[in-house]
Structure 1
């Protein structure tokens, strides 16, 4: 089992770790990972591992067997042996952009209140697919509402609830295609806004910024028809 350090502190850029496994494909498993594994539309983290004077670039991170998190080397270099103590370092600029985009998409799901059928995150833009028969006719209004939420610099926080608590509040699940796994005892919620005046609260296992002001200026992109009742909306970071 890999400890999910990326959820305990999403701003952790470097951390010590110990190698606990090597996969058949040459992936590296650590006892604790600051690298987020691909999932929920968010790409896996990249970065570096350093030990005994060696430096290995990591191309991406994926989920492995059970609760293992697997770091995928970018080059065919000699792997650290099991038990090796090393330092893991994120490509922080890329990760932080993913955090900004991910939080931006949560805001989009507030401004466009329809069921979400899919989504994707990159370092410069994100998109959500909505279960809506007609395209929204107020592009300027959507963009203005998103930027107002950014300017408000709302708090972004998380907490954990039980499966029973989630089952009692099914309206919190906005994603129609992907739902929180029922095999886990606890579900992580991400909240935008203060406890008494939040604007969004939904299950999410991704990494987010601490306040919406960190997103910076954004702009609405294309709105595409992707089926009879499906509309895809893109949002871009301006910097």
Structure 2
């Protein structure tokens, strides 16, 4: 298998001394990047690049020909040489908590509602997220009742890890690919990343996660919306304090 992306292989390394591989005004391609560029409903990392002339905020990311360019807040700046890439730790932590929380929610919905698939997901910068599920005629009270099991799983401090399997293996194993519309993009050699929460869940995902569920704040189910005959939208939020 091809080596995983840096943010998958080293999720706790948020500061990295690296080199500019290619540069254009307002954008840069790093030799190695700690930044998660976004995808699968997870927002991209925020952060800074420190260079010999000062520092510049990273304003976003753009894929081009299989490479991920970091977009700079200064569109005229063209960098070269060594840089120090710094991921915003608070924002990354919140995204890891939310993404792990959506997997726990997904696990219980999948178990309770006969393998219900995900039809959409979005994590937000205010510490909330929403997941849409294909659950025809679902009892919303049963969905609300999942808040207790979700927080039990957080308190149990279950280990979270990832493995890579061939794409055909992922397609052939029931429940590994949970999205009704798409799967995470495979690696160059056809591998799919599987995120496992010990004893609870195993599914394909390309996002960043906690290394154990206990590193998350508690989760509340904030609202459940009926989106048509089949779709239920479950909104969750991290509890502060």
Note if 1:70 corresponds to 2:69. Answer: yes
Aligned to 1:14: 15
Once the two structures are superposed, residues 174-224 of structure 1 have per-residue CA deviations (whole angstroms, 9 ceiling, x without a partner) of: 11122234674111110001xxxx211011110001110111111111111
Aligned to 1:80: 79
Aligned to 1:168: 172
RMSD of Structure 2 on Structure 1 (CA): 1.9
Q: Is the 8 A contact 1:134 1:231 kept in 2?
A: no
Alignment partners' CA distance in 2, 1:236 and 1:68: 33
Deviating more after overlay: 2-11 vs 219-228: 2-11
- In structure 1, the gaps of 5 or more residues are none
Note if 1:36 corresponds to 2:36. Answer: yes
Alignment partners' CA distance in 2, 1:19 and 1:236: 38
- In structure 2, the gaps of 5 or more residues are 111-115
Secondary structure (helix, strand or coil) at the match of 1:129 reads: strand
Secondary structure (helix, strand or coil) at the match of 2:102 reads: helix
| Aligned-pair CA distance for 1:67 | 2.7
| Aligned-pair CA distance for 1:151 | 0.6
Once the two structures are superposed, residues 38-91 of structure 1 have per-residue CA deviations (whole angstroms, 9 ceiling, x without a partner) of: 2111111110001114111112234x123311212123452203xx11110011
Segments of 4+ moved more than 6 angstroms:
none
Q: Is the 8 A contact 2:59 2:71 kept in 1?
A: yes
Note if 1:126 corresponds to 2:137. Answer: no
- In the superposition, the TM-score normalised over structure 2's length comes to 0.89
